[in-house]
């Protein structure tokens, strides 16, 4: 069976030029150039890109129920998102979209189906691109389902953030490395002071790693946008992946993935020391 050794996740705001309110095609081009078979990409961005696309085409934003507007934007943005990736991924590689929901990871049969699909792609010169299926997700139904599973004593996957989705995917395929691409160089002790970037969170055992990550969480607050979990949630999901054996790298999306993995640029690494 072929392997997926590297899972990459990119956040919504890393794909957008904030000042211009437009897609950052430089990021798409750099990431598309980096992608190879044996990698899987978890991407955010459908909702925000759908909003920008709707605004560009109509000159206005939606003004209905916020949750419904989010659903409608996501449905519109999925098309633009995947078309843009296809434009920049090397033409000799196939691109396969995989839209997932929390229920797929909480059901053993569905979870194994996804794992096999991802592993097949690695041997078929294809790159899977994964996103949470916001257009068909109903918040209230999701909460009811998860509450029911918790009452039954199950450990559940929520996928409330694509950082969590990426950590789950990395654990599912046994990826050696998970790269979380963001709009910053990594995790800071003080977000206002670039010199406080935490380069390495590498420990000899899991208890020490959990303690170190927990301590770092006390320095984290806020998020880049409404609905995002921020650095604290990112650390929580990174720890989950590290507990399953992945080395997690949090770094800026302006860097090539190879530079982040190779330690050639500033970033934060989280995981167990490798012998």
pLDDT in tens, 78-107: 999 999 999 999 999 999 999 988 788 888
User: What pLDDT score was predicted for residue 266?
Assistant: 95
Q: Is 250 exposed, middle or buried (0-12, 13-18, 19+ CB in 10 A)?
A: buried
pLDDT tier at 225, thresholds 50, 70, 90: very low
pLDDT in tens, 23-58: 999 999 999 999 999 999 999 999 999 999 999 999
Q: Is 141 exposed, middle or buried (0-12, 13-18, 19+ CB in 10 A)?
A: exposed
CA dihedral angle for residue 113, residue 114, residue 120, residue 126, rounded to 10 degrees: 150
What is the SS3 assignment for 154-182? CCCCCCCCHHHHHHHHHHHHCCCEEEEEE
Q: Is the pLDDT of residue 227 over 70?
A: no
Closest CA to 191 of 269, 256, 264, 268: 268
Residues of the chain with CATH 3.40.1160.10: 1-174, 176-275
User: What pLDDT score was predicted for residue 132?
Assistant: 84
Given a contact cutoff of 8 angstroms between Cβ atoms, the answer to whether 126 and 90 are in contact is: no
User: Any idea what the Cα angle at residue 187 is, between residues 224 and 161, rounded to 5°?
Assistant: 50
| Percent of the chain residues topping a pLDDT of 70 | 87
* CB neighbour list of residue 144: distance below 8 Å, 6 or more residues apart: none
* Location of structure tokens 């949470």: 132
Does the pTM surpass 0.85? The reply is yes
Mean pLDDT rounded to a whole number for the chain? 88
Given a contact cutoff of 8 angstroms between Cβ atoms, the answer to whether 268 and 238 are in contact is: no
pLDDT tier at 21, thresholds 50, 70, 90: confident
Query: What's the whole-number mean pLDDT along residues 248-265?
Result: 95
Please give the Cα distance from 179 to 167 (Å, whole number).
10
User: What pLDDT score was predicted for residue 2?
Assistant: 64
* Location of structure tokens 């996103």: 131
User: What pLDDT score was predicted for residue 228?
Assistant: 47
| Diameter over CA atoms, the chain | 57
CATH of domain 176-275: 3.40.1160.10
CATH of domain 1-174: 3.40.1160.10
| Percent of the chain residues topping a pLDDT of 90 | 69
């Amino acid at each position: 069976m072929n392997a997926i050794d590297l899972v990459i996740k990119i956040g919504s705001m890393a794909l957008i030029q904030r000042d211009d309110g437009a897609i950052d095609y430089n990021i798409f081009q750099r990431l598309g150039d980096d992608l190879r078979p044996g990698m899987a990409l978890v991407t955010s961005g459908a909702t925000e890109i759908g909003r920008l696309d709707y605004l560009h085409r109509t000159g206005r934003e939606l003004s209905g129920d916020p949750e419904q507007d989010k659903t409608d934007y996501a449905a519109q943005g999925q098309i633009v998102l995947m078309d843009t990736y296809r434009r920049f991924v090397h033409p000799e590689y196939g691109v396969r979209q995989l839209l997932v929901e929390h229920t797929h990871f909480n059901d053993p049969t569905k979870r194994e189906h996804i794992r096999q699909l991802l592993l097949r792609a690695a041997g078929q010169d294809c790159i899977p691109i994964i996103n949470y299926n916001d257009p068909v997700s109903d918040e209230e139904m999701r909460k009811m389902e998860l509450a029911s599973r918790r009452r039954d004593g199950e450990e559940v996957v929520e996928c409330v953030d694509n950082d969590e989705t990426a950590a789950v995917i990395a654990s599912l395929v046994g990826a050696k490395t998970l790269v979380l691409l963001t709009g910053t160089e990594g995790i800071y002790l003080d977000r206002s002071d670039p010199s406080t970037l935490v380069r390495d969170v590498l420990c000899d055992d899991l208890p020490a790693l959990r303690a170190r990550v927990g301590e770092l969480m006390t320095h984290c607050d806020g998020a880049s946008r409404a609905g995002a979990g921020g650095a604290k949630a990112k650390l929580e999901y990174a720890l989950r992946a590290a507990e399953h054996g992945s080395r997690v790298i949090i770094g800026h999306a302006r860097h090539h993935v190879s530079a982040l993995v190779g330690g050639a640029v500033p970033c934060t690494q989280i995981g167990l020391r490798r012998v």
